[in-house]
Amino acid sequence: MKLENLNQAIDLTKKFTQKPSNEELLKLYGLYKQATEGDNVGEKPGGFDFKAAAKYHSWLNLKGKSKSEAEKEYIALVEELSKSYL
C-alpha cells in the first residue's frame, strides 16, 4: 500500500487489527511528534512516569531531523507495519 501523506498514514494506523509492539509504537510516536511539531523542547518527565519518559526520549532522539524527513519516515514505517497489522 502506497500512502501519500501523514493523514492517510494516521488513518491507516486506526485500522490495524492488532496493536504494534511498544518499540514500534514509540517509533511511531517520535516520528509523528517530530513531523508535526519539530524538535522536542519540552521538559523531561518525572522519574517514575516511565511511559512518558519513553515517549519523551523517543521524540528527543530525532532532534535535528526535518519535519518533512520525519513525515516520510513515519509514512514508510506505517506502510511496513500495515503488512503485519492489517
Q: Are 40 and 63 in contact (CB under 8 A)?
A: yes
- 1 within a domain of the structure (yes/no): no
Split into its structural domains, the chain has a count of 1
Domain that includes residue 66, residue range = 6-85
C-alpha cell recorded at residue 61? 532522539
50 assigned to some structural domain: yes
Task: Give the domain CATH number at 45.
Answer: 1.20.80.10
Q: What count of other Cβ atoms lies within 10 Å of the Cβ of residue 8?
A: 13
Tell me, yes or no, whether 29 lies in a domain.
yes
Closest CA to 67 of 26, 6, 13, 4: 6
- Spatial CA neighbour of 6 closest among 84, 82, 73: 73
Q: How far apart, in whole angstroms, are the C-alpha atoms of residue 66 and residue 86?
A: 29
pLDDT band at 1 (very low <50, low <70, confident <90, very high): confident
Model pLDDT for residues 31-43, shown as the tens digit of each residue = 999 999 999 999 9
pLDDT digits (tens, 9 = 90+) for 24-82: 999 999 999 999 999 999 999 987 999 999 999 999 999 999 999 999 999 999 999 99
In a domain, 70, yes or no: yes
Q: Report pTM.
A: 0.94
